[in-house]
């Protein structure tokens, strides 16, 4: 045995702890996560567990399950970032656990252990599993259990794996829609085709499985019907007579696939996920390329059983990858749901000890580059701050504590990349906490409003979603000044230029300036962060005024 299991378990625990720190980040940045958090907040505050609403308007772009779980978490822990991040992180860990179990089922415990470490230390899974939680974090904890139990059901036909597999499949469908069944079933279906067991696809045993999975999504279908089909006058993205059921079975999936829905992306590129995956799966990208190449090159030399395992993993990964690449609606986090299959493929490859010396040398060099990049970025951003220690200390400890000679080639391939990417993730946490939090307009305006006497807040085209999430009092969006009440005390947030130019034709004698804040999004701050004078010219200012009459 070329692996020290205590060492690998120690690394796994370290990565889980480092990743878990992100759950305590106070900021939901102005992106999809805070949009989803606002929808869940409305659900928790209003007590309406059926309707989906964004900015006070009916919203139809994702199924209900993540919002139900987030709203339930808000009920327990209050309306805060931790309560939003925690469920996604737990599902992320559930995906890790079932990645281990699936790898162990297909191969052995050692492959499972390696796959678990690779899963937990993949950079994009670390980001999306803690402080950038989206639907994919939930999907990982749904797709991997479903795949595991479907494999058990395929082998045994017992009721327990049937019910659990159907349940997790339904959760995935209530999180992202019907297309998740491609990822869940593609490995099995292609294995059946490869082994010429075509009849299994439509056998009574599997027809029962499909039917039970559909039965479990009834809560989703009922909610969609009640909010949309039963209320044809409901306006959604500027249209009436919207069928929630039609959207679920067609529009939400094929609308995205053919880029014909209300939300579109006109910048699709067939190679988008190729170059995206190279960084998203760091530090294991080269290992995956080598593993895929060797799996195909030596496919014929494998036993029939091993061939079936490779078909299962390759189909589970590549069919979804190709499907995503064929669409024009492409976002970097989409491929997160197939990374566990890549992790298992990599683990199997490393465990077979193909070219381990070369892999170890490359992984060691890559780890050094990641640490140098980590130090360079930290020096650039925090050169006059004590925060620079966050870059220098981890790197120094790695050099002092770990020497390549004390590890086998397999351990070198795993230890140094895991530690280096953990240090890099620490930098990401630092940037989010020290920079994004400092310059996020919505977060900071809400903090200033919350420090004042409680009153209704109106958002007059600020464009900052965190403002709604973090503001403690009642919150509404308005289109123009005429929509504001004529009496009573309330706050209005708007751009400073709109206030100075009286763009919304307010009666200025009835309003008093409460606070001003200047900030911007991270992509506008980072390039100029080291030069505060230059940064000041790239900030946008906002005000909060109070109606005093």
Q: Determine the 3-state secondary structure of 507 from DSSP.
A: coil
Statement: residue 441 has pLDDT above 90? yes
The more confident residue out of 259 and 174 is 174
As a whole-number percent, the residues of the chain with pLDDT over 70 amount to: 92
Statement: residue 183 has pLDDT above 90? yes
For residue range 142-162, list pLDDT tens digits in order. 999 999 999 999 998 899 999
Q: Determine the 3-state secondary structure of 234 from DSSP.
A: coil
pLDDT confidence of residue 442: 94
Structure tokens given for 299: 């496919």
Most confident of 139-148, 240-249, 363-372: 139-148
DSSP β-ladder status, 490-495 and 475-477: unpaired
For residue range 490-509, list pLDDT tens digits in order. 999 999 999 999 999 999 99
Contact criterion met (CB below 8 Å) for 38 and 465:
yes
The mean pLDDT value for 83-103 works out to: 97
Which candidate, 418, 346, 411, places its Cα nearest to that of 4? 411
DSSP 17: H
* Rounded distance between C-alpha atoms, residue 82 and residue 422, angstroms: 21
Cis bond before residue 167 (omega within 30° of 0)? no
* Rounded distance between C-alpha atoms, residue 211 and residue 94, angstroms: 25
* Rounded distance between C-alpha atoms, residue 103 and residue 350, angstroms: 13
pLDDT confidence of residue 484: 94
Statement: residue 10 has pLDDT above 70? yes
Contact criterion met (CB below 8 Å) for 545 and 490:
no
The mean pLDDT value for 325-343 works out to: 86
Give, in order, the Cα–Cα distances in Å from 505 to each of 289, 509, 510, 514. 60, 12, 12, 18
* Rounded distance between C-alpha atoms, residue 125 and residue 122, angstroms: 5
488: left (phi over 0), alpha (psi -120 to 50) or beta: left
The mean pLDDT value for 350-373 works out to: 87
Confidence grade of residue 372 (pLDDT, cut at 50, 70, 90): confident
Residue 543 bridge partners (DSSP) = 494, 516
DSSP 229: I
For residue range 65-89, list pLDDT tens digits in order. 999 999 999 999 999 999 999 999 9
pLDDT confidence of residue 302: 87
pLDDT confidence of residue 269: 74
pLDDT confidence of residue 394: 61
Map tokens 């490869």 to a residue: 194
Give, in order, the Cα–Cα distances in Å from 392 to each of 11, 166, 209, 529. 20, 48, 54, 20
Confidence grade of residue 43 (pLDDT, cut at 50, 70, 90): very high
Buried/exposed 199-235: b ≥16 CB within 10 Å, e otherwise? eeeeeeebeebeebbeebbebbbebbbebbbeeeebe
Strands of the sheet with 511-519, listed across from one edge: 475-477, 456-459, 490-495, 540-547, 511-519
pLDDT confidence of residue 400: 56
Confidence grade of residue 541 (pLDDT, cut at 50, 70, 90): very high
pLDDT confidence of residue 1: 47
Residue 493 bridge partners (DSSP) = 459, 544
Least confident range of 34-48, 247-261, 363-377, 411-425: 247-261
Contact criterion met (CB below 8 Å) for 305 and 280:
no
pLDDT confidence of residue 389: 67
pLDDT confidence of residue 3: 75
Cα dihedral sign, 491-497-499-503: negative
For residue range 197-233, list pLDDT tens digits in order. 999 999 999 999 999 999 999 999 999 999 998 988 8
Residue 44 CA to chain centroid, in angstroms? Answer: 22
What is the number of residues in the chain? Answer: 549
Packing angle, helices 304-326 and 81-106, rounded to 10: 150
Give, in order, the Cα–Cα distances in Å from 494 to each of 453, 467, 486, 487. 19, 11, 18, 19
Contact criterion met (CB below 8 Å) for 454 and 511:
no
* Rounded distance between C-alpha atoms, residue 190 and residue 264, angstroms: 31
Which candidate, 189, 176, 179, places its Cα nearest to that of 326? 179
| Burial category of 46 from C-beta neighbours within 10 Å (exposed 0-12, middle 13-18, buried 19 and up) | exposed
pLDDT confidence of residue 259: 60
For residue range 396-433, list pLDDT tens digits in order. 666 555 566 677 888 889 988 998 899 899 888 888 88
For residue range 251-283, list pLDDT tens digits in order. 776 666 666 555 656 666 778 888 888 999 999
Q: What angle do CA 322, 346, 157 make, to 5 degrees?
A: 75
DSSP β-ladder status, 456-459 and 490-495: parallel
Average pLDDT along the chain: 89
pLDDT confidence of residue 263: 60
Confidence grade of residue 193 (pLDDT, cut at 50, 70, 90): very high
Residue 457 bridge partners (DSSP) = 475, 491
The mean pLDDT value for 346-366 works out to: 88
Statement: residue 391 has pLDDT above 70? no
Q: Determine the 3-state secondary structure of 513 from DSSP.
A: strand
Least confident range of 90-99, 148-157, 231-240, 505-514: 231-240
DSSP 427-491: HHHHHIIIIIHHH-HHHHHHHHHHTSPP-EEEE-S---THHHHH--S-EEE-SSGGGS-SSS-EE
């Amino acid at each position: 045995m070329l692996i020290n299991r205590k060492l690998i378990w120690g690394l796994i625990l370290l990565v889980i702890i480092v990743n878990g720190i992100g759950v305590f980040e106070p900021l939901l940045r102005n992106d999809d996560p805070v949009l989803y958090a606002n929808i869940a907040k409305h659900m928790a505050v209003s007590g309406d567990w059926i309707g989906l609403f964004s900015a006070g308007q009916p919203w139809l772009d994702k199924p209900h399950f993540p919002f139900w779980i987030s709203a339930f978490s808000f009920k327990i822990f209050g309306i805060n970032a931790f309560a939003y991040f925690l469920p996604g992180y737990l599902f992320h860990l559930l995906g890790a656990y079932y990645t281990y179990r699936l790898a162990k089922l297909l191969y052995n415990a050692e492959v499972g252990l390696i796959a678990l470490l690779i899963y937990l230390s993949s950079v994009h899974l670390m980001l999306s599993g803690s402080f950038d939680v989206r639907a994919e974090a939930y999907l990982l904890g749904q797709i991997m259990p479903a795949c595991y139990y479907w494999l058990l059901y395929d082998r045994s036909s017992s009721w327990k794996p049937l019910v659990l597999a159907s349940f997790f499949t339904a959760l995935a469908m209530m999180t992202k829609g019907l297309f998740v069944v491609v990822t869940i079933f593609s490995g099995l279906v292609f294995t059946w085709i490869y082994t010429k067991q075509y009849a299994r696809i439509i056998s009574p045993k599997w027809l029962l499985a499909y039917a039970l999975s559909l039965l479990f999504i009834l809560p989703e279908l009922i909610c969609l019907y009640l909010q949309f089909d039963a209320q044809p006058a409901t306006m959604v993205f500027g249209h009436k007579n919207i069928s929630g059921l039609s959207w679920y079975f067609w529009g939400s999936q094929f609308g995205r696939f053919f880029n014909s829905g209300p939300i579109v992306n006109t910048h699709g590129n067939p190679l988008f996920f190729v170059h995206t995956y190279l960084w998203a799966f760091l530090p294991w990208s080269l290992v995956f390329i080598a593993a895929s190449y060797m799996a195909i090159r030596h496919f014929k030399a494998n036993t029939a059983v091993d061939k079936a395992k490779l078909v299962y993993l390759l189909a589970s990964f590549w069919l979804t990858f190709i499907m995503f690449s064929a669409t024009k609606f492409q976002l970097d986090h989409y491929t997160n749901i197939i990374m566990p299959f890549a992790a298992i493929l990599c683990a199997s490859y490393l465990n077979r000890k193909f070219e381990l010396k070369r892999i170890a040398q490359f992984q060691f060099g890559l780890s050094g580059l990641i640490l140098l990049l980590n130090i360079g970025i930290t020096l650039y951003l925090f050169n006059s701050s004590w925060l620079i220690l966050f870059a220098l200390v981890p790197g120094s400890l790695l050099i002092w504590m770990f020497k390549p000679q004390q590890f086998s080639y397999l351990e070198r391939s795993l230890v140094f990349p895991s530690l280096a990417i953990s240090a890099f993730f620490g930098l990401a946490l630092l940037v989010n906490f020290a920079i994004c939090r400092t310059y996020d307009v919505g977060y900071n305006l809400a903090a200033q409003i919350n420090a004042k006497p409680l009153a209704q807040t109106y958002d007059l085209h600020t464009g900052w979603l965190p403002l709604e999430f973090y503001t403690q009092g009642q919150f509404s969006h308005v289109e123009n000044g005429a929509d504001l009440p004529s009496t009573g005390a309330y706050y209005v947030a708007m751009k400073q230029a709109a206030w100075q130019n009286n763009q919304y034709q307010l009666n200025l004698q009835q309003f008093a300036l409460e606070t001003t804040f200047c900030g911007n999004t991270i992509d506008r701050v980072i390039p100029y962060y080291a030069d505060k004078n230059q940064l000041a010219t790239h900030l946008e200012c906002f005000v909060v005024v109070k109606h005093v009459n």
